[in-house]
Amino acid sequence: MKSVPAGLPASSAVATAGRESGGIGVDLGWLLGLGGAAAWIWLRDRTWMDSSAATLPALSALPLFAWLGRPWHRSPDAGAVSFPRLGAACGLWVGGLLFDVTLLLTLAWTTALSAWLRSRLSASDWADRRPLLLLPFLAFPWVALDAARVGWWFRLSAAALTQWLFAAIGCAVERRGTLLLIDDTSVAVDASCSGLNVLQALLIGGALAAFLLPGARLPLRWLGPLLAGLAWFSNCLRVILLTGVAVFCGPELARGWFHSAGGWLVLMVMFLLTLKILKWLQGRQRAGLTGPAREVSG
């Protein structure tokens, strides 16, 4: 039985308890609604789920958001969700449905999450956690589903680089677009080799590393191109690796278990490279901060 604080009327205590229980019920409804909408966005088009290396990083973004933002404390002054923000989320959702654009659905979901959290957290807690909204924004496959032209150039450039490399080592190579014929072995750099899932995975990994290494944080105008360049390089590396396995070890191995294992291997290498680059940036920023201080003190 809940005790009534001294000096507080019983009616006020009952009203406070009622508001708390009602607020918890509303928050549970929000969580269920957001969870259902997220599942629908993930499952509406499953073509992006071509491998575990592509699927698991996206599905891990929301748990990482919850983990990095902990502890989550509901503010005693929690109020109603902002109607303009909720209206914006609904408008983006309708636009995403009408035009079949995953990016609009993702923006709608992230806007709704932002509106709900902003109404529930204190001003200081919200300011600390607002940068983490990049992770929910990257949790959905809008990169893979809406950026087909980028994927085409990723594939074409990877095929061209593979052609040049195998010709340089003395192989007989012919290329037609993204189709390669190397020493009588046919290799197709198809849609699953577009690199867009790798790009999304590296964006998530880069965002996570940037949050875990505060001194390595970069403005998005620098972080985005850096991670995009690393994604392109990792996709080319994956295509070259699988092509080498197909040419020298047999197409069956390249199409079999090594197709997924090779993708994971390249992804892990690129995550480590991204972490090394961000650590290097962290060291550069620290040196820049301490250098002038030493000059002044001297």
Same domain, 112 and 181: no
Q: What is the pLDDT of residue 104?
A: 93
Q: What is the pTM of this model?
A: 0.67
Q: Tell me whether the omega of the peptide bond preceding residue 9 falls within 30 degrees of 0, making it cis.
A: no
What value does the mean pLDDT take over residues 275-280? 76
What value does the mean pLDDT take over residues 227-236? 80
Same domain, 219 and 174: yes
Q: What is the pLDDT of residues 107-160, one digit of tens each?
A: 999 999 999 999 999 999 998 888 788 889 889 988 878 877 677 888 889 899
Instruction: Answer yes or no: is pLDDT of 5 > 60.
Output: no
179: in domain:
yes
Which range of residues forms the domain containing residue 129?
Answer: 19-71+80-145
176: in domain:
yes
Instruction: Answer yes or no: is pLDDT of 12 > 50.
Output: no
293: in domain:
no
Q: What is the pLDDT of residues 171-193, one digit of tens each?
A: 888 898 888 888 888 888 876 66
CA-CA distance, 105 to 38, in Å (whole number)? 9
Give the pLDDT band (50/70/90) at residue 257: confident
Q: Taking a C-beta distance cutoff of 8 angstroms, is the pair 26, 77 a contact?
A: no
Instruction: Answer yes or no: is pLDDT of 216 > 60.
Output: no
291: in domain:
no
Same domain, 96 and 47: yes
Which residues fall within 8 angstroms of residue 271, CB to CB, at 6 or more apart? Answer: 202, 205
Same domain, 99 and 166: no
Same domain, 160 and 124: no
Same domain, 116 and 26: yes
Give the pLDDT band (50/70/90) at residue 93: very high
Same domain, 161 and 87: no
DSSP characters over 77-146: T--PPPHHHHHHHHHHHHHHHHHT-HHHHHHHHHHHHHHHHHHHS-HHHHHHHGGGGHHHHTSSTHHHHH
Instruction: Answer yes or no: is pLDDT of 292 > 80.
Output: no
Same domain, 138 and 224: no
Instruction: Answer yes or no: is pLDDT of 3 > 60.
Output: no
Q: What is the pLDDT of residue 127?
A: 85
14: in domain:
no
Q: What is the pLDDT of residue 23?
A: 65
Instruction: Answer yes or no: is pLDDT of 14 > 70.
Output: no
32: in domain:
yes
- Identify the domain boundary among 121, 145, 169: 145
Same domain, 87 and 117: yes
Q: What is the pLDDT of residue 294?
A: 40
CA-CA distance, 72 to 75, in Å (whole number)? 9
- What is the tally of structural domains in the chain? 2
HSE toward the beta carbon, residue 298, CA cutoff 13 A: 6
5: in domain:
no
Same domain, 184 and 91: no
4: in domain:
no
Same domain, 101 and 154: no
Higher pLDDT, 194 or 216: 194
Q: What is the pLDDT of residue 106?
A: 94
Same domain, 211 and 182: yes
Q: What is the pLDDT of residue 17?
A: 44
- Lowest-pLDDT choice from 10-19, 118-127, 216-225: 10-19
DSSP characters over 209-259: HHHH-GGG---HHHHHHHHHHHHHHHHHHHHHHHHHHHHHH-HHHHHTHHH
